[in-house]
Amino acid sequence: MNHQGVNSGPGIAHYRPDDVENGMSTVLGYSPNARIDKTLLEKFLRLPLPEDRVQATYIWIDGTGENVRAKDRTIIGVPTSIKDYPIWNFDGSSTYQAEGSNSDVYLYPVATYKDPFRPGANNVLVLCETYKHNKEPTESNKRHACAEAMSRAADQKPWFGIEQEYTLLDMDNRPFGWPTNGFPGPQGPYYCGVGANRVFARELVEAHYRACLYAGIDVSGTNAEVMPAQWEFQVGPGEGMKCADDLWVARYILHRIAEEYGIVVTLDPKPMPGNWNGAGAHCNFSTLTMRQDNGIIEIEKAIDKLSKQHVRHIQAYDPKGGQDNMRRLTGHHETSSIHDFSAGVANRGASIRIPRGVAEDKKGYLEDRRPSSNCDPYAVCNALVRTCILDE
Ligand code: ADP
Ligand code: MN
Ligand code: MN
Ligand code: MN
């Protein structure tokens, strides 16, 4: 289907309150980006750079706690460690992160990845934390506290594996490939589906998978999801900060590739109300003890601790303190109710699932199914470590 052509009319717009807040309510009927000839850039990407020049894209999380921002700079000399990347700043009053009168926010580089958009050189993506003028972390910098918890829990070698579900939208905010004036057939054939009537934009998914592996992100797999135009990729397992760092950069790469296709990625946990699956970011978690023989005892202990901290976790599992998950965690569509804590072997309607294989092996990991697709993985990993390892 030629998606550039079908939306020249007004279509059925599907606006969410946060889109209006983010100034996104007036979307174009088609994507100008999709119309640009993408082969032209290749000529210029082949031009060699001076040997002592590196193009660096600094990436950070903006004041929504959900969206990423990025800007580029040239680094002189090829850095050999993260400390060689200069601290930078940006106008926080334009990212919901500061007042105009005191607008500089600092960018502290924390991790680098190979840049899949400028391959073949020393070019990098530089993931950053944001700090206020007084060197305190900004409100949306959840990484700072997470790193502090991780360093105290390092003995237990915590591993995380996150399943990022997301939905592709056309420029009218309708799921990509859906009819403008109607709906696709009911859910059933789409999950892990194959075929032009079951999955939409696999090309984009393929490009993203490859680009992430190139960058150095530990993507462990991908699959088509239950709702048409919904997909998933998994990151991990990664120890400490690695999984959450990887996930943020994987999200950046996803938005950036989708931009080229003229497709919009939403991490909204319930993009279509009604009888359509929402989107989550299941967080699979284990400690050293859980991975050792009879680790199931430690998994059960962790579940007991989690049962007493349900509210803390719900508050940490979406960027609006639980409001986004209210729309998703209904107790239907493979979710538990936001109001109740539950756990069970192979139970996809529980807050915590013990995978069947883990119950059989009596060791392994647990799956926390509550995090919303737009969660901040730093807040999720932080809460899990504080509840299950640090006993806070
Ligand atoms: P599901 O059956 O829930 O769809 P997936 O295969 O999509 O499961 O994802 C499983 C996730 O669990 C992967 O991200 C993987 O990295 C992660 N994982 C596997 N083993 C562990 C472990 N010991 N600790 C933490 N995460 C793990
Ligand atoms: Mn999965
Ligand atoms: Mn899934
Ligand atoms: Mn899962």
Picking from 298, 275, 273, the residue whose alpha carbon sits closest to that of residue 285 is 298
Ligand with smallest separation from the Cα of 355:
1
108 φ, ψ to 5°?
-105, 115
Quote the pLDDT of residue 8: 32
Distances (CA, A) of 297 to 224, 361, 364: 34, 12, 11
Distance, in Å, from the CA atom of 336 to the CA atom of 342, rounded to the nearest integer, reads 8
Could you tell me how far CA 353 lies from the centroid of its own chain? 21
pLDDT at residue 254 tops 90: yes
Give pLDDT, residue 240. Answer: 98
Eight-class DSSP state of 154:
G
Higher pLDDT, 233 or 8: 233
Which contiguous run of DSSP H or E holds residue 303?
A: helix 296-307
Helix (H) or strand (E) run with residue 184 in it: none
Probe ligand 1: pick from 157, 234, 358, max atoms within 8 Å of CB? 234
The CA distance from 201 to 228, in Å, is 10
Q: What is the pLDDT confidence band of residue 62, given thresholds at 50, 70 and 90?
A: very high
CA distance 279 to 226: 10
CATH fold for domain 48-138: Ubiquitin-like (UB roll) (3.10.20)
pLDDT > 90? residue 217? yes
How far is the C-alpha of 66 from the C-alpha of 50, rounded, in Å?
Answer: 36
The tokens of 347 are what?
Answer: 């139970």
Q: Output the CA 284–ligand 4 centroid distance in Å.
A: 8
Instruction: Specify the range with the lowest mean pLDDT, choosing from 4-18, 64-78, 93-107, 223-237.
Output: 4-18
* Angstrom distance (rounded) from CA 163 to CA 282: 5
Rounded mean pLDDT of 276-299? 98
Q: Provide CATH 3.30.590.10 ranges for the chain.
A: 150-388
Q: Which residues contact 312 (CB under 8 A, 6 or more apart)?
A: 383, 387
Ligand 1 probe mutation, 220, 287, 336, 367, most atoms within 8 A of CB: 220
Place 349 in a pLDDT band, splitting at 50, 70 and 90: very high
Q: Is the pLDDT of residue 91 over 70?
A: yes
Q: DSSP labels for 71-112?
A: EEEEEES--SSGGGSPPEEEEGGGTTSS-GGG-EEEEEEEEE
Can you tell me which residue has the tokens 């892990």? 192
pLDDT of residue 27: 54
Q: Output phi, psi for 258, to 5 deg.
A: -60, -35
CATH, domain range 150-388: 3.30.590.10
State in Å: Cα 193 to ligand 3 middle. 13
| pLDDT higher at 192 or 16 | 192
What is the number of the ligand closest to the CA of 161? 1
Q: Pick from 363, 332, 365, 337: which is nearest to 351 by CA?
A: 337
pLDDT digits (tens, 9 = 90+) for 12-45: 344 444 444 444 444 566 788 888 888 999 999 9
Predicted confidence (pLDDT) at residue 277 exceeds the cutoff of 50: yes
Lowest-pLDDT range, 20-24, 104-108, 236-240? 20-24
Question: What crossing angle do the helices spanning 377-388 and 296-307 adopt, rounded to 10°?
Answer: 110
* 260 Cα to the center of ligand 4, angstroms: 29
* Spatial separation of the C-alpha atoms in residues 366 and 63, rounded to whole Å: 31
Is pLDDT above 50 for 325? yes
Which ligand has the shortest distance to the CA of 242? Answer: 1
Residue 164 carries which DSSP code?
E
Q: What are the start and end residues of each CATH 3.10.20.70 domain in the chain?
A: 48-138
| Mean pLDDT value across residues 369-385 | 98
Mean pLDDT of 76-81: 95
- Which residues, in sequence order, are CB contacts of 57 under 8 Å at separation 6+? 70, 71, 72, 115, 117, 123, 124, 125, 126
Beta bridge partners of 221: 234
Q: How confident is the model at residue 116 (pLDDT cuts 50, 70, 90)?
A: very high
Q: Which residue's CA lies nearest to atom 17 of ligand 1?
A: 161
Nearest CA residue ID for atom 15, ligand 1:
161
Can you give 205-224 as a three-state secondary structure string? HHHHHHHHHHHCCCEEEEEE
Q: Which two tokens stand for residue 330?
A: 């209904």
Provide, rounded to the nearest whole percent, the portion of the chain with pLDDT above 90. 83
Query: How far, in Å, from the CA of 234 to the mean position of ligand 2?
Result: 7
The per-residue pLDDT for range 131-168, each reduced to its tens digit, is 999 999 999 999 999 999 999 999 999 999 999 999 99
pLDDT band at 101 (very low <50, low <70, confident <90, very high): confident
What's the pTM?
0.93
Distance 237 CA to ligand 1 centre (A): 7
CB within 6 Å of ligand 1 — which residues? Answer: 159-161, 163, 220, 234, 236-237, 282, 284-286, 291, 364-365, 367
Token couple for 29: 């009927």
